[in-house]
């Protein structure tokens, strides 16, 4: 390659031959494919069969209702997927939107997608590396590789170092030759691991199983009831219509609508809490999560470098504040420093602020919560500027005007230190130096005694063991400007040590505590150094203060030094494949996993996990496309809120199933047992379908909006293999069905004995008993959070009255108006349904706690809720 770079002609030839410099985008899903995916759901297929049967028997109104349910379910599901994809596209940005290259000997800017192999890249502070490249020139170059490696500290780069696409230059400049583009780059190779279809969610698997059972039960029911009618000598045509009507009643046709509404409301609530759901079924899956694998930088930590501790030969101090804001306290032993104690701290931080190339930008909108001070340049140098301001040092601009820089030796990988020389108001020269302790704490540089140097080394080692990035700062004064920086770096005085880290978020401890209370096992997976990972894990309470066995490095993982990865809680220095292995180990054990991430290196694990959670504010495009959930506020606590919403959704679906199937079972039992107690044909086909429409329709759908149950986040997650009617649900269903059946048959028999219109009494009693169950099953009985529920019950009750007193409906449904005695009998059945629901809910809650069984890493706690 010539020094002048490629020619335009050669670049165009390579572009045509090897393609654009981009990871192949995900192919858009056609709307018709989304619709077909919705219609392939087993429950929807059952409803399609039910709609066909209603058409056969001439019940066109019910066929229309079922068709509307199918259309509603499909429309909402497709709309949510499309809306989520559009929202993610709005959040997305190109990994490297532009690049500066040399073409025909002339620097020029062009889109990153037009970069080709062997192009010459020109890099400077703030640039995003457009493709994999090898450095041919480097000057004080510092690169942030966290989106690929997870390492929170920028990496120093020198000549011949390799650069990866998507990394960010935070300081210095460089010239590099492109070695790989597009799918051949490191970013492309990781993105290739995302290929493959997403497995069905737990809810989809459970509902599919239930759909198959209902389909078989429906066919058996039709045949059985039809045969019994023929044995009793009833007309075949009448029995055929009634059998089909009863089969339709047995299928809770509003279940897909309830599920879709519950998921859509959950997605809407999550969006209001800064969580964007990309696929509706993921809402419920969150409620099943038993393991939360989280990254460190920006998730458990603030994602900002902060000076937290300062050591000087005369004392120590702790610094407090938020991010890069130049405001905060300087304290020691939980009290403010005296002026004498503050003086050495201020002197140290003043030298650190002078030996510094970074700057801090104030927020554009100071009143905006999300707008904060931002660093320009090396984040660690920016942290030193913020610390100097907290200690009361003069403003950076004034400080540099007072002490103008006259000479400098930038930081590089061989020197491991930076030195600047400044003029002073008295005409003397001030020398400031900062760098790695092992370099600065050197007798050749410092004039301090050996005891002080030995003590400083011990302090540096202690800080490093606690996960801090440690810098040593020294300074000295010369009568006149030195001939060179090398001459100035002699006989300097040690000012002290600075401990810098990416501190935990204030909410991190509470968030992990909430996870444990919910029976969720938190696991930390990071690309950072093991000491840093351990320190953060200890500070947020993920592992014990003196526990070292719970931290496993990627090297140890590769060597197979641990047989069971689910016994480890902290993983450090992991690569993308190892993250996949960790998630796979938990899933093999039966756990439902959620994985958070923001970098390209997190993409494969986000796809592998049951729920992938990407950071929307700082996350990469690869991470967002791989995720099921995108957090627009990058807060881990939002995941916990989303898990709570998932549990609410699943509770509401189970509640509807208990309600709908109990009512359907009661209708079947009434039809089968009624003739045995003197009620020849208990209900007509139209009456069955009207009951079904009112109970499974508006009222059933309203259940999907019920608020979260008390103490929902104080119970362990349900086992992954548990049936959707497990944990006592099917027992409660049978109890309620039996109670309603007995109550309604007693009412019908009493009405028959008293000469009342017994079939109309039985019709109203069966409908009222189911509405009573709907109210009795509420977790929060008198809550105002879902006024739609009592409103739906009231509307259904009015529609039931209309069936008895509105002449056109009387004629259609073959009912008769009831007097007060008949209404009283039906009301007694409704009250029986309500009481049975309250008693069964309380009894089964005490018996089974919340869910039976345990999830990995949790113990069952028996709680009522």
| Average pLDDT value for residue range 429-444 | 86
CATH class of the structural domain 291-299+506-634: alpha beta
Percent of the chain past pLDDT 70, that is, above it, reads 78
The residue count for the chain: 865
Q: Is the pLDDT of residue 851 over 60?
A: no
Lowest mean pLDDT among 228-237, 239-248, 307-316, 528-537: 239-248
Q: Is the pLDDT of residue 316 over 90?
A: yes
Instruction: Please give the Cα distance from 514 to 637 (Å, whole number).
Output: 9
Instruction: Please give the Cα distance from 163 to 710 (Å, whole number).
Output: 52
Confidence band for 91, pLDDT divided at 50, 70 and 90? very low
The pTM (predicted TM-score) of the whole model is 0.68
Q: If we measure between CA atoms, which residue out of 620, 585, 538, 578 comes closest to residue 300?
A: 538
Lowest mean pLDDT among 17-31, 300-314, 554-568, 762-776: 17-31
- Whether 356 and 393 have beta carbons less than 8 Å apart is answered as no
Lowest mean pLDDT among 1-10, 195-204, 479-488, 708-717: 195-204
Per-residue pLDDT tens for 750-788? 988 888 888 889 999 999 999 999 898 888 877 778 888
Confidence band for 718, pLDDT divided at 50, 70 and 90? confident
- Pick the more confident residue, 284 or 433: 433
Q: Is the pLDDT of residue 707 over 70?
A: yes
Distances in Å between the Cα of 682 and the Cα atoms of 218, 295, 669, 694, 752 are 20, 62, 10, 19, 11
Question: What 3 state SS string does 789-846 have?
Answer: HHHHHHHHHHHHHHHHHCHHHHHHHCCCCCCHHHHHHHHHHHHHHHHHHHHHHHHHHH
CATH of domain 252-274+640-848: 1.20.1110.10
Domain extents in the chain: 1-209, 252-274+640-848, 291-299+506-634, 306-499
Q: Is the pLDDT of residue 420 over 90?
A: yes
| Average pLDDT value for residue range 839-855 | 55
DSSP reduced 3-state for 275: strand
Per-residue pLDDT tens for 573-599? 887 788 888 998 998 888 889 888 876
Q: What is the pLDDT of residue 783?
A: 78
> What backbone torsions phi and psi does residue 691 show, to the nearest 5 degrees?
-60, -45
Q: What is the pLDDT of residue 627?
A: 79
Give catalytic status of residue 295 as yes or no: yes
Q: What is the pLDDT of residue 201?
A: 58
Instruction: Please give the Cα distance from 555 to 562 (Å, whole number).
Output: 11
Q: What is the pLDDT of residue 860?
A: 33
- Whether 774 and 699 have beta carbons less than 8 Å apart is answered as yes
Angle between helices 758-776 and 788-805 (to 10 degrees): 180
Which spans in 193-277 are helix H? 202-231, 236-250, 255-272
| Average pLDDT value for residue range 238-258 | 63
| Same fold: 1-209 with 291-299+506-634 | no
Instruction: Please give the Cα distance from 542 to 122 (Å, whole number).
Output: 43
| Average pLDDT value for residue range 5-34 | 77
- Pick the more confident residue, 704 or 545: 704
Instruction: Please give the Cα distance from 14 to 295 (Å, whole number).
Output: 38
Percent of the chain past pLDDT 90, that is, above it, reads 15
Confidence band for 215, pLDDT divided at 50, 70 and 90? low
Q: What is the pLDDT of residue 662?
A: 87
Q: What is the pLDDT of residue 523?
A: 92
| Average pLDDT value for residue range 609-621 | 75
CATH class of the structural domain 1-209: mainly beta
Q: What is the pLDDT of residue 95?
A: 37
Q: What is the pLDDT of residue 208?
A: 64
Q: Is the pLDDT of residue 41 over 70?
A: no
Mean of all residue pLDDT scores within the chain: 79
Q: What is the pLDDT of residue 861?
A: 33
| Average pLDDT value for residue range 413-419 | 82
Q: Is the pLDDT of residue 842 over 50?
A: yes
| R_g of the chain, CA atoms, integer Å | 35
| Average pLDDT value for residue range 551-567 | 85
CATH of domain 306-499: 3.40.1110.10
Q: Is the pLDDT of residue 799 over 60?
A: yes
Residue identified by tokens 């030969």 is 313
Q: What is the pLDDT of residue 147?
A: 65
Active-site entry in 127, 144, 156, 295: 295
First to last CA, the chain: 71
Q: What is the pLDDT of residue 141?
A: 84
């Amino acid at each position: 390659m010539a020094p002048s770079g490629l020619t335009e002609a050669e670049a165009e030839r390579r572009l045509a031959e090897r393609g654009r410099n981009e990871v192949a985008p995900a192919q858009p899903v056609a709307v018709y494919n989304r619709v077909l995916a919705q219609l392939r759901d087993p429950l929807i297929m059952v409803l399609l069969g039910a709609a066909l049967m209603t058409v056969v028997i001439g019940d066109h109104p019910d066929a229309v209702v079922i068709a509307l349910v199918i259309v509603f379910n499909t429309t909402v599901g497709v709309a949510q997927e499309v809306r989520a994809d559009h929202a993610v596209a709005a959040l997305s940005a190109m990994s490297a939107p532009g690049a500066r290259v040399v073409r025909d000997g002339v620097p020029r800017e062009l889109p990153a997608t037009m970069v080709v192999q062997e192009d010459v890249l020109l890099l400077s502070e703030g640039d995003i590396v457009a493709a994999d490249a090898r450095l041919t020139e480097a000057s004080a170059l510092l690169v942030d590789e966290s989106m690929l490696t997870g390492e929170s500290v920028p990496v120093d780069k020198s000549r011949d170092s390799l650069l990866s696409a998507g990394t960010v230059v935070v300081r210095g400049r460089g010239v590099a030759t492109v070695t790989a583009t597009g799918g051949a780059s490191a970013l492309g190779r990781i993105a290739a691991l995302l290929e493959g279809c997403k497995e069905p969610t737990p809810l989809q698997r459970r509902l599919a199983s239930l759909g198959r059972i209902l389909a078989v039960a429906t066919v058996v029911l039709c045949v059985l009831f039809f045969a019994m009618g023929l044995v009793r000598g009833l007309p075949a045509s009448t029995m055929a219509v009634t059998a089909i009507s009863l089969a339709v009643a047995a299928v809770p046709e509003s279940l897909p609508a309830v599920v879709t509404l519950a998921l859509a409301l959950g997605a809407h609530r999550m969006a209001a809490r800064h969580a964007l759901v990309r696929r509706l079924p993921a809402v419920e899956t969150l409620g099943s999560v038993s393991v939360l694998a989280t990254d460190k930088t920006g998730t458990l930590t603030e994602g900002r470098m902060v000076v937290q501790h300062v050591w000087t030969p005369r004392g120590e101090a702790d610094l407090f504040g938020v991010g890069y804001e130049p405001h905060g306290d300087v304290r020691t032993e939980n009290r403010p420093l005296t002026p004498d104690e503050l003086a050495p701290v201020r002197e140290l931080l003043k030298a650190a602020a002078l030996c510094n190339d970074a700057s801090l930008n104030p927020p554009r909108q100071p009143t905006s919560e999300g707008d904060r001070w931002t660093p320009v340049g090396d984040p660690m140098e920016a942290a030193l500027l913020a610390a100097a301001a907290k200690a009361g040092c003069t403003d950076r601009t004034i400080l540099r005007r007072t002490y103008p820089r006259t000479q400098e030796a930038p930081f590089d990988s061989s020197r491991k230190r930076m030195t600047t020389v400044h003029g002073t108001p008295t005409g003397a020269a001030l020398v400031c130096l900062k760098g790695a302790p092992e370099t600065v704490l050197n007798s050749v540089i410092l004039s301090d005694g050996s005891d002080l140097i030995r003590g400083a080394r011990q302090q540096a080692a202690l800080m490093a063991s606690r996960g801090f990035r440690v810098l040593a700062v020294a300074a000295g004064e010369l009568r006149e400007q030195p001939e060179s920086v090398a001459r100035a770096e002699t006989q300097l005085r040690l000012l002290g040590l600075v401990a810098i880290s990416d501190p935990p978020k204030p909410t991190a401890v509470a968030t992990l505590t909430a996870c444990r209370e919910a029976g969720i096992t938190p696991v930390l997976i990071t690309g950072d150094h093991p000491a840093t990972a351990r320190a953060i894990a200890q500070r947020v309470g993920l592992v014990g203060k003196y526990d070292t066995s719970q931290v496993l490095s990627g090297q140890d993982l590769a060597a197979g030094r641990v047989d069971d990865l689910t016994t480890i809680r902290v993983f450090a220095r992991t690569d993308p494949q190892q993250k996949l292995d960790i998630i796979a180990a938990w899933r093999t054990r039966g756990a439902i996993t959620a994985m958070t991430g923001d970098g390209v290196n997190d993409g494969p694990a986000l796809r592998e996990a049951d729920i992938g959670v990407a950071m929307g504010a700082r996350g990469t495009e690869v991470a967002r496309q791989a995720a099921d959930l995108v957090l627009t506020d990058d807060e881990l606590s939002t995941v916990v809120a989303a898990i709570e919403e998932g549990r609410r959704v699943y509770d509401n679906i189970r509640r509807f199933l208990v309600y709908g199937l109990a009512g359907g079972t009661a209708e079947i039992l009434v039809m089968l047992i009624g003739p045995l107690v003197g009620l020849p044909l208990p209900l007509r086909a139209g009456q069955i379908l009207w009951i079904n429409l009112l109970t499974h329709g508006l009222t059933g759908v309203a259940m999907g909006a019920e608020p979260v149950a008390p103490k929902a986040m104080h119970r362990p997650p349900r086992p992954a293999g548990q049936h959707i009617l497990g944990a006592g649900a099917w027992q409660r269903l049978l109890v309620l069905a039996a109670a309603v059946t007995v109550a309604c048959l007693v009412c019908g028999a009493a009405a028959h004995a008293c000469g009342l219109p017994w079939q109309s009494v039985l019709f109203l009693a069966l409908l009222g008993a189911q509405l009573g169950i709907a109210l009795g099953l509420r977790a929060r009985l008198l809550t105002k959070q879902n006024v739609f529920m009592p409103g739906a019950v009231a509307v259904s009750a009015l529609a039931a009255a209309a069936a008895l007193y509105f002449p056109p409906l009387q004629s259609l449904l073959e009912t008769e108006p009831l007097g007060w005695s008949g209404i009283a009998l039906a009301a007694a059945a409704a009250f029986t349904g309500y009481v049975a629901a309250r008693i069964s809910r309380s009894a089964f809650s005490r018996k089974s706690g919340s869910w039976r069984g345990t999830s990995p890493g949790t113990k069952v706690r028996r709680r009522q809720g």
